[in-house]
Structure 1
Amino acid sequence: MIQSKEHLLVIDADSRSSGWLVEHFAAQGFEVTAAATPESCAEMPANQRPDVIIGDLMPEGVAWLTDFLEPFEPRPPVVVLTNPISTDHILETLRAGAADVVSKVALDITALDEALARQLERVRLFKQSKRYRQDLERTVSEFKYNLDELRADQRAGRQVQMKMLPEKGLRFGKISIDHCIKPSLYLSGDFFDYYHIDQHRVGFYFADVSGHGASSAFVTVLLKNLSNRLQRNIRRQSSDDILHPERLLARVNSELLETDLGKHLTMFAGIIDTEKRMLTYSVGAHYPMPVFCDGKDCSFLEGRGAPVGLMAQAHYKTFERPLPPGFSIIIVSDGLFEVLDAPSLDAKEALMLERVRSSGHTIGELESVFQLDALSEIPDDIAIVSITETLV
């Protein structure tokens, strides 16, 4: 027996037959409405529209119902009870729009229930499909809204992050420092800063935070905040950590561990002293190492150290490199290696050196030799910092 709460409309001019059908379907749990003519449908409120129509109808009545029900969604199928059961009559009834035909002569209740069950299944499937489609459309709409919100947040975050970076093309006496950054997403995990310490010293650092996106960008905010505090401390003479690259890395290491963000970074920090003609630097697993050009050739700086933010007991060493007149230092993030066409890391290092040697070491020339502007997709953040000394 069919158990349902669907709404059926019984159309039959014979009140006795109509009453029997109403009683039969109501006993199965249906909501049933009776009408004498097809035209009665026009008077039914929208909230009482039937799911299936069962009626003793001639082809003309079926055709009228078909036209009337055309705008409905889903359109209620019509099961016709007919006295003449000839093939021609059945075909005419089906052509008029009937979904099924059941003989009213010696009515087979099982056949009627089965015909009704088939049509109800079609209606249920249509309604289910409509609900799925509506749910999908609502989900897509919500996703688009959330995506727009995320993009707006990411754009705002990128603006903040870009404002945290130092100005492009800064000069500190004869020292010029410039940069470019190309994030793989709106936000970048690559970060750097450079700052004037006194008349003959310039400090800088370059960091590459693990991962991508907002969480990595948040670490760059912490890094900038720490850098600003340490610069204020030197002016207040309360701490000189900023003058010692190895101590700067140690401070970043301890403060990053205290945040418990699960993030670490690679870092290179240095001090350029134009009076002593010396580069003092420390390395926190930064790769590739910066390229140092002495006016004759270019090579990678030496040194190594543990990643920053992974181990509380990490120790960072100090390295030195004399500064010949007209030197250049090129620092890049490892994202650059993702776009260098070479089969191995050694080959990528060699290619990087070759291209740095062939350039004039300005940011514009470096972007050109590495063909950064031609990249349609960037798999990882790419940042480049160029530090050069002019001889005049």
Structure 2
Amino acid sequence: MDTQPGVLLIKSESESSAGLGHFLSGRGYLVEEHASAVEALTRFRSEYHQLVITDLRLPDISGLDVLRRIKSDSPETPVMVLGGHADLGDVVRALREGASDYLLHPLSDHEIVNLAVKRLMQARKLLTQNRVIREELERRNRELKEHLQVLQQDQQAGRLLQQHMLPRTPYRYPGGIEASFRLLPTLYLSGDFVDYGLFGERFVAFYLADVSGHGVSSALVTALIKHSTTHLVREKALFASLTELENDLQYLIEFLNRELFEAPLDKHASLFIGVVDTRAQELYYCVGGQLPMPALIDRGKASWLPGKGKPVGLFADGSWEVFRCKLPQHWNLVACSDGVLELLSGDSLMEKEAQLLDLIEESEGSIDTLCRLLKIDRPEEQPDDIAVLRLRHVKS
């Protein structure tokens, strides 16, 4: 139940003001009348008095001084001044100094007073409501800024962690194999990821993963892939024997598929995973929905590797095939996540792939050159995460 609005009435002994307090009380206002302005000011309480009505001519201090004191103590409290035609100069000054309204004696029609009071009360109510809303918005904005600050700190920590999980680039392995990459996230964290390593003295294994979506959740899946791959390779001693390479690749991609499919993350990934036999110069690889396919550069000519396979984590059983490719004497292998396709013109996927292959060929496998040709060598926001992985045989 709403309380009755309070009115502080400071009036002279003029006949025109007589009965004003009684009239307003009859209209539902709690009226507190005073003939002394000094006494009225000591009684004023902004939380109780929603309106102050004061005569301009008072026996102790002027109505203008009352106005100034009220506005100094409570700027939101409306003040209505009462004056005669001879007081028009003071009325103008009162309006300039913050009075909300004025009425002129004689107050013969109290209903006009009632309408003016009602309007000021409604304005005061709206002002109070706006202040409460503004304070609530300011409180929520402060909370939002605090949450955003925490989120930014979390993202920065996640970015640092993800960067520490990435391999060194470039890195040269025995047998003349050099691996390098470029990773360009759209946000703090990337849903793209690359990794590579030497197993034994002969096999260089690697993968490029592109997790669906963006941001933290996708980046966490890249961490899951990294952890699962590292753990499995060590536990099962994968890529230790030439005779088991194909089985190891198939086992690894099927294991990752189960990990993602059974995880309650609603995430899947395109994956290109391979092993280079540095002695035999052969490439073994599996394709998990990789698009575009990696390109092999031989004597300045680029061509797509053959092969296809379902994305990882999308189906319970993907039935992936292991492909095998004899590598030329001096080769470059370039794999890109599908974010690069967003940068290319063309109405069809085939047109974009043809354009990308031309750029890979023009770059001669150089990541820096390819990024320059794709116009991603500048710190500008990209439409999607972009990863470029390069392996090559370095001339001895």
Q: Give the shorter-chain TM-score range.
A: 0.7 to 0.9
Does the CA contact (< 8 Å) of 1:241 and 1:248 recur in 2?
no
Equivalent of residue 231 in structure 1, options 205, 225, 233: 233
Quick check: 1:347 aligned with 2:351?
A: yes
Q: In structure 2, how many angstroms separate the alpha carbons of the residues matched to 1:106 and 1:169? A: 91
Q: Match of 1:282, SS?
A: strand
TM score, norm. by length of structure 2:
0.87
Q: In structure 2, how many angstroms separate the alpha carbons of the residues matched to 1:270 and 1:164? A: 19
Residue 7 (structure 1) aligns with: 6
After TM superposition, list the pairs within 5 Å mapping 1:130-141 onto structure 2. 130-141=131-142
Q: In structure 1, how many angstroms separate the alpha carbons of the residues matched to 2:238 and 2:360? A: 40
Q: State the shift of 1:257 in Å.
A: 1.4
Instruction: Write the deviation string for residues 348-389 of structure 1: whole angstroms up to 9, x where unpaired.
Output: 222222221122423333333323222521111011111010
For residues 241 and 291 of structure 1, do their structure 2 counterparts lie closer, same or farther at Cα, with a shift above 3 Å needed?
Answer: closer
Quick check: 1:276 aligned with 2:280?
A: yes
Does the CA contact (< 8 Å) of 1:231 and 1:242 recur in 2?
no
After TM superposition, list the pairs within 5 Å mapping 1:369-380 onto structure 2. 369-380=373-384
Q: State the shift of 1:200 in Å.
A: 1.5
Q: State the shift of 1:342 in Å.
A: 4.0
For residues 321 and 62 of structure 1, do their structure 2 counterparts lie closer, same or farther at Cα, with a shift above 3 Å needed?
Answer: same
Q: Match of 1:218, SS?
A: helix
Q: Match of 1:263, SS?
A: coil
Residue 162 (structure 1) aligns with: 163
Residue 121 (structure 1) aligns with: 122
After TM superposition, list the pairs within 5 Å mapping 1:38-53 onto structure 2. 38-44=37-43, 50-53=49-52
For residues 237 and 170 of structure 1, do their structure 2 counterparts lie closer, same or farther at Cα, with a shift above 3 Å needed?
Answer: closer
Equivalent of residue 193 in structure 1, options 176, 180, 195: 195
Does the CA contact (< 8 Å) of 2:8 and 2:44 recur in 1?
no
Quick check: 1:331 aligned with 2:347?
A: no
For residues 316 and 225 of structure 1, do their structure 2 counterparts lie closer, same or farther at Cα, with a shift above 3 Å needed?
Answer: same
Q: Match of 2:62, SS?
A: helix
Name which of structure 1's ranges 158-167 and 19-28 shifts more when overlaid on structure 2. Answer: 19-28
Quick check: 1:58 aligned with 2:57?
A: yes
Does the CA contact (< 8 Å) of 2:296 and 2:302 recur in 1?
yes
Q: In structure 1, how many angstroms separate the alpha carbons of the residues matched to 2:161 and 2:102? A: 71
For residues 367 and 41 of structure 1, do their structure 2 counterparts lie closer, same or farther at Cα, with a shift above 3 Å needed?
Answer: farther
Q: In structure 2, how many angstroms separate the alpha carbons of the residues matched to 1:41 and 1:372? A: 73
Name which of structure 1's ranges 177-186 and 30-39 shifts more when overlaid on structure 2. Answer: 30-39
For residues 296 and 236 of structure 1, do their structure 2 counterparts lie closer, same or farther at Cα, with a shift above 3 Å needed?
Answer: closer
Q: State the shift of 1:25 in Å.
A: 4.5
Does the CA contact (< 8 Å) of 1:90 and 1:101 recur in 2?
no
Equivalent of residue 222 in structure 1, options 203, 221, 224: 224
Q: In structure 2, how many angstroms separate the alpha carbons of the residues matched to 1:241 and 1:10? A: 96
Compute the RMSD of aligned alpha carbons: 3.0
Does the CA contact (< 8 Å) of 1:154 and 1:187 recur in 2?
yes
Q: In structure 2, how many angstroms separate the alpha carbons of the residues matched to 1:369 and 1:158? A: 27
Quick check: 1:150 aligned with 2:151?
A: yes
Q: In structure 2, how many angstroms separate the alpha carbons of the residues matched to 1:285 and 1:124? A: 63
Q: State the shift of 1:28 in Å.
A: 5.4
Q: Which amino acid aligns with 2:194?
A: F
Q: Match of 1:188, SS?
A: coil
Residue 94 (structure 2) aligns with: 96
Q: State the shift of 1:238 in Å.
A: 11
For residues 241 and 22 of structure 1, do their structure 2 counterparts lie closer, same or farther at Cα, with a shift above 3 Å needed?
Answer: farther
Q: Match of 2:377, SS?
A: helix
Residue 258 (structure 2) aligns with: 254
Q: State the shift of 1:50 in Å.
A: 2.7
Q: Match of 2:186, SS?
A: coil
Name which of structure 1's ranges 314-323 and 136-145 shifts more when overlaid on structure 2. Answer: 136-145
Does the CA contact (< 8 Å) of 1:206 and 1:267 recur in 2?
yes
Instruction: Write the deviation string for residues 25-78 of structure 1: whole angstroms up to 9, x where unpaired.
Output: 456554443332333454346555632112343398332223223335544223
Q: State the shift of 1:170 in Å.
A: 1.4
Q: In structure 1, how many angstroms separate the alpha carbons of the residues matched to 2:209 and 2:202? A: 24
Q: In structure 2, how many angstroms separate the alpha carbons of the residues matched to 1:365 and 1:290? A: 17
Name which of structure 1's ranges 66-75 and 135-144 shifts more when overlaid on structure 2. Answer: 66-75
Q: Match of 1:355, SS?
A: helix
For residues 250 and 106 of structure 1, do their structure 2 counterparts lie closer, same or farther at Cα, with a shift above 3 Å needed?
Answer: closer
Q: In structure 2, how many angstroms separate the alpha carbons of the residues matched to 1:222 and 1:333? A: 18
Q: State the shift of 1:248 in Å.
A: 1.6
Q: State the shift of 1:114 in Å.
A: 1.6
For residues 381 and 13 of structure 1, do their structure 2 counterparts lie closer, same or farther at Cα, with a shift above 3 Å needed?
Answer: same
Q: State the shift of 1:292 in Å.
A: 0.7
For residues 255 and 242 of structure 1, do their structure 2 counterparts lie closer, same or farther at Cα, with a shift above 3 Å needed?
Answer: farther
Does the CA contact (< 8 Å) of 2:12 and 2:57 recur in 1?
no
Structure 2 residues not aligned, in runs of 5+: none
Does the CA contact (< 8 Å) of 2:368 and 2:377 recur in 1?
no
Q: In structure 2, how many angstroms separate the alpha carbons of the residues matched to 1:236 and 1:200? A: 13
Residue 177 (structure 1) aligns with: 179
Q: State the shift of 1:102 in Å.
A: 4.4
Q: State the shift of 1:343 in Å.
A: 4.2
Q: State the shift of 1:293 in Å.
A: 1.0
Instruction: Write the deviation string for residues 112-140 of structure 1: whole angstroms up to 9, x where unpaired.
Output: 22221011111112222222222222222
Does the CA contact (< 8 Å) of 1:253 and 1:312 recur in 2?
yes
Q: Match of 2:167, SS?
A: coil
